[in-house]
Amino acid sequence: MSLLFKCILGALAVLAIALLSKTRNFYIAGLVPLFPTFALIAHYIVGSERSAEALRTTALFGLASLVPYAVYLGVVYWLAVRTSLPVTLTLATMAWCAAAGVLLLVWPR
């Protein structure tokens, strides 16, 4: 049942993005993926299975994880008018992976 609920949430998010992308305020579609659905799930699990300090660490890492997302968005913004959509999204995803890799290497220190 839990898996079904998560699937429904994902489907609703995709539907909201698709519908919003067709409106005059299409840019709001970029806000939908930032709703903290998965963060809520992760924080609930960490908060219920570990200490409050572990939850704080998880939240701090979540803040740091905004850097790879900002890198992704920066690359999309820069390449959107310079390359095709598939190239833009592929390079932006690769940039996110590189930035996330750096974060994972730096974080334990």
Q: What is the DSSP string of 70-91?
A: HHHHHHHHHHTTTS-HHHHHHH
Q: Is the pLDDT of residue 54 over 80?
A: yes
Cα–Cα distance for residue pair 86/52, rounded to 1 Å: 42
CA 49 to chain centre: 23
pTM above 0.95, yes or no: no
pLDDT digits (tens, 9 = 90+) for 7-33: 888 898 899 999 999 999 999 998 888
Confidence at residue 64, expressed as pLDDT on a 0 to 100 scale: 96
